[in-house]
A and B are shown apart, each in its own frame.
Chain A
Amino acid sequence: MIIVFFKQLYERRDLLLALTTKELKTRYKSAFLGFLWAFLNPLLQMAVLSVVFMLIVRIPVQNYSLFLFCGLLPWTFFSQSLISGTGSLTANRDLIKKAAFPREILPLSVILSNAINLILSLALLLPAILIFANISWPLILLPFAILLHIIFTAGLVLIASSLDIYYRDVSFIIQALTMAWFYLTPIIYPLSMVPQRFVDLYAANPMVGIISLYRFALLGGDAPTFFALAASMILTAILFIFGIIIFKKREPFFADWI
């Protein structure tokens, strides 16, 4: 099943690319500022959060805005992919009912287009890091962080989208989950603020390892703990394989359910 998944994906890679370009083009074609919105949105969010957490809550972190941004950009990728990826099958009802192609291409194209946004946004962030902080060797870990993140998101979206096509409350559950998940991930606060006795349990959240890896790659500082990283990688692998299996098992009935 997993081999079939990758074989079909390879055979129809042009479709994956075409749908990804379509996602990018349709999202930004009519918007005046084009792609910049993908960067501007987290920027605005960062401005608000910076004010709140630097002046009011006062989180003791140097260069808080940069710190926040390094977590917020990957999170934006994650939450947008998760929410629109989950609904990507139901949003393409006509296509599923009227054309035959490997259905996973729909959620994966959403993730891929968001990933391209993420990479471009990170590229815009680099000069800021150069000015306010410095970049050192951990930056070579950035591609690995992005890859791990994409695979993790893909596993989750494959499961959620294949459930969403049958159950109508899945997208709401996912939205609520995403909101809660945001606060359980060290984005607005550093990992060091988590009470010591909860740290291991806390790091079982695979996003902890992933976000820490992004931070480490971009800003240096403490490397993520081995445990957090291992938890992320193992969970990512399990989730991805499980996602492929559940998606492929349910796929033949998508056209009937939708």
Chain B
Amino acid sequence: MIMVQAKNLGKKYSVSRGRPLFLKSIFKPQVCDEIWALKDVNLEINAGEIIGIIGKNGSGKSTLLKILAGITKPTLGTVAINGRVASLIELGAGFQADLTGRENIYLNGTILGLTKREISRRIGHIIRFADIGNFIDVPVKKYSSGMTVRLGFSVASHLDPEILLLDEVLAVGDAAFQKKCLDKIAEFKKSGKTIIFVSHDLNQVANICERAVWIEDGKIKKNGSSREVVNSYLGSVSEGFETELTIMSKDWANGSTEPQNQSASVKKVSVKNLEGKPVNKLSTNDSFNIEIEFETKEENVFCGMTVIFYDNGGNCVFGTIGNHESNWYGKPMPKGRYVSVCRIPANFFNDGWFDVSLNLFGRHFIDSCMTHKVLRLRILDGSEVRGDYYGRYDGTVRPLFDWSTRRKS
């Protein structure tokens, strides 16, 4: 059964500076700019579905939710809703600071659409679920913010709607409270209710929702299985960063300032893909090469190299020495041009910015020449190997290690 059907939804906002004057408007019509917060949105939601809505700030998510909730009316298109809707766009809507928790339960409950009798029947459960003890008969102004939220969620979760609209409500409260919320959502899900859920927490969307809708600039950019949609969204978010700040290759054409020591001089350092082609985009899933082109100054010199990576805060992540290289390392090199390649495996770096320094050295690691910030890499979040985790990774590396679990008893 289709619970929500939106056809060609469009919502236009007129933006003006402040509210106009009535007396003035009689003589002069108001001019204002128009902004389409939503355009051509088509959406069908079936009974029992849990659907996540993601997108950047200002993309139109909340506008869509407000239209579905009946708070505002679409400029174009139609919405058909099949069932009782409860919208939790804000917890504790209309809470009055001077009234007690108990009085506010009645007020908030009736605002959300319950009748007084329905509230009286549930008030015991509501108070128990809120779990704020004797504070229930104390004016809400004496509450901590956590208590207010708990009371608000407690009322909301006893609404018994067929369609539940949630906007970022889970972002508040402590871990215990969040768990309570998630349990309640699971309970709703079990009883076959439809849940529409706007969130910035991609991890929650990917794991709680079966389907997700990604909205950008007021349009549906992708609508499909939640993991797929979250993946493409994550990809696009990191693409948004300025790539002009990266340095993917450096050339020392006119010999004077190039990094050099007595045996060799570096001509070029660049990032290449595994086929040896230059790249301008790197993701955590990519394996890539750092190629160093150099020229020996005399016959039979010895020469080696270290590549060192720094994170955005200037902390050294690691350095790698090319002393396991088997063709030329430790051997006398005839005069000529050479290319050293250092391969960085896929699924090694975390996403972020990295500076690369190059150290050129001669025999016995003396006569070295260190050059900082030869390259500046931006590694984007390629999320193919995230599994079911869509949150942040800590640290500067994101290696893919082997894990195993066995049962001991």
List residues of chain A with CB under 8 Å of any chain B CB: 12, 14-15, 17-19, 22, 25-26, 29-30, 92, 94-101, 163, 166-170, 173, 252-253, 255-257
Q: How far is the CB of B230 from chain A (nearest CB, A)?
A: 27
10 A–B contacts from the bound complex (CB under 8 Å): A14-B114, A18-B107, A25-B98, A30-B98, A94-B93, A95-B94, A98-B89, A167-B22, A167-B25, A253-B72
Given contacts A95-B93, A167-B19, A167-B21, contact A22 B116 (CB under 8 A): no
| In contact, B106 and A18 (Cβ under 8 angstroms) | yes
A94: B residues at CB distance < 8 A: 90, 93-94
Is B73 touching A253 in the complex (CB atoms < 8 A)? yes
Q: A167 near B111 (CB under 8 angstroms)?
A: no
Check if B110 is an interface residue, CB within 8 A of chain A: yes
Q: Is the CB of A99 within 8 A of B99?
A: no
A-chain residues with CB within 8 Å of residue B116 when the two chains form the complex: 14, 17-18
If A173-B23, A255-B71 touch, whether A99 touches B112 (CB-CB below 8 Å) is: yes
The answer to whether residues A26 and B99 also contact, given A14-B115, A15-B111, A167-B21 and a CB cut-off of 8 A, is: yes
**8 Å CB contact of A252 from B72, B89, B99:** B72
Q: Return chain A residues, CB-CB under 8 Å to B103.
A: 22, 25
Partner of A100, one of B18, B69, B94: B69
CB-contacts of B123-158 with A (<8 A): none
B96 to chain A: which residues have CB within 8 Å? Answer: 22, 26
What residue of chain B has the Cβ atom nearest to residue A100's Cβ? B70
Known A25-B103, A94-B93, A99-B112: A255·B21 in contact at CB below 8 Å:
no
CA distance A94 to B92 in the complex (A): 11
Q: In the complex, what's the smallest C-beta–C-beta distance from A110 to chain B, in angstroms?
A: 14
What is the CB-to-nearest-CB distance from A183 to chain B, in angstroms, rounded to a whole number?
A: 22
- Do A163 and B110 have beta carbons less than 8 Å apart? no
Residue numbers in A under 8 Å from B14 (CB-CB):
256
The verdict on A29 contacting B98 (CB below 8 Å), with A18-B106, A18-B110 known, is: yes
Check: B87 CB closer than 8 A to any chain A CB. Answer: yes
- Are B99 and A25 in touch, CB under 8 angstroms? yes
Distance (whole angstroms) from the CB of B228 to the closest CB of chain A: 32
Measured between beta carbons, the chain B residues less than 8 angstroms from A101 are 111, 113
B71 near A169 with CB under 8 A, answer no
Name which residue of chain B comes closest to A163, CB basis: B22
**Min CB–CB distance A83 → chain B (angstroms):** 16
Instruction: Give, as a whole number of angstroms, the nearest-CB distance from B54 to chain A.
Output: 21
Is B66 close to A, CB under 8 A? Answer: yes
Nearest residue (CB) in B for A168 is B19
The 5 nearest A-B residue pairs measured at CB: A167-B22, A252-B73, A168-B19, A98-B90, A100-B70
B328 contacts the other chain (CB 8 A): no
In the complex, the chain A residue whose C-beta lies closest to that of B109 is A18
Distance of A96 Cα from B66 Cα, bound (Å):
11
Partner of B71, one of A25, A99, A163: A99
B93 with A99: CB separation less than 8 A: yes
Is there a chain A Cβ closer than 8 Å to B13's Cβ? yes
A99-B98 in contact (CB<8A): no
Select B23's contact among A92, A166, A169, beta carbons within 8 Å: A169
Q: Do A256 and B13 contact each other (CB < 8 Å), given the known contacts A167-B19, A169-B22?
A: yes
Known contacts A19-B107, A19-B110, A99-B71; can you find 16 more A-B pairs with CB under 8 A?
Answer: A14-B115, A17-B116, A18-B111, A25-B98, A95-B94, A99-B90, A99-B94, A99-B111, A100-B69, A101-B113, A166-B20, A167-B20, A167-B21, A167-B22, A252-B73, A255-B72
> Do the beta carbons of A100 and B21 come within 8 Å of each other?
no
A168 CA to B110 CA, complexed, in Å: 30
Chain A proximity of B198: nearest CB distance (Å): 13
User: Which chain A residue has the least Cβ–Cβ distance from B18?
Assistant: A168
With both beta carbons as reference points, the residue of chain A lying nearest to B111 in the complex is identified as A99
Task: Indicate whether A169 sits within 8 Å of B66 (C-beta atoms), given known contacts A14-B110, A99-B90.
Answer: no
**Which among A22, A25, A30 has the greatest number of chain B C-beta atoms within 10 A?**
A22
Digit string of B220-256 for contact with A (CB within 8 Å is 1, else 0)? Answer: 0000000000000000000000000000000000000
Say how far A71's CB is from chain B's closest CB, in angstroms. 30
CB distance from A181 to the nearest CB of B (A): 18
**Chain A positions within 8 Å of B110 at CB level:** 12, 14-15, 17-19
Instruction: Give the residues from 56 to 97 in chain B that come closer than 8 angstroms, CB to CB, to chain A.
Output: 66, 69-73, 85, 87, 89-90, 93-94, 96
CB distance from B155 to the nearest CB of A (A): 12
List the A side residues contacting B25 at CB < 8 Å. Answer: 167
Verify B90–A166 contact, CB threshold 8 A. Answer: no
Q: How far is the CA of A166 from the CA of B30 in the complex (A)?
A: 12
Interface centre among A167, A170, A252 (most CB of B within 10 A): A167
User: Given A94-B94, A168-B20, A170-B22, does the pair A22, B107 have CB atoms closer than 8 Å?
Assistant: yes
Q: Residues of B contacting A95 with CB < 8 Å?
A: 93-94, 111
Chain A residues contacting B89 (CB-CB under 8 Å) are 98-99
Which B residues are CB-close (under 8 A) to A29? 98-99
Please measure, in the bound complex, the distance between the C-alpha atom of A17 and the C-alpha atom of B23, giving whole angstroms. 35
- B84: min CB distance to chain A, Å: 12
B90 contacts A26, C-beta separation under 8 Å: no
Shortest beta-carbon distance from B11 to chain A in Å = 9
A96 contact set on B, CB distance < 8 A = 71
Interface of chain B residues 12 through 54 with chain A (CB within 8 A)? 13-14, 18-23, 25
Q: How far is the CA of A186 from the CA of B14 in the complex (A)?
A: 45
A100/B107 contact (C-beta < 8 A), A94-B94, A167-B19, A255-B66 known: no
A100 to B116, CA, bound (A): 17
| A169 closest partner in B (C-beta) | B21
For B98, what are the chain A residues with a Cβ–Cβ distance below 8 Å?
Answer: 25-26, 29-30
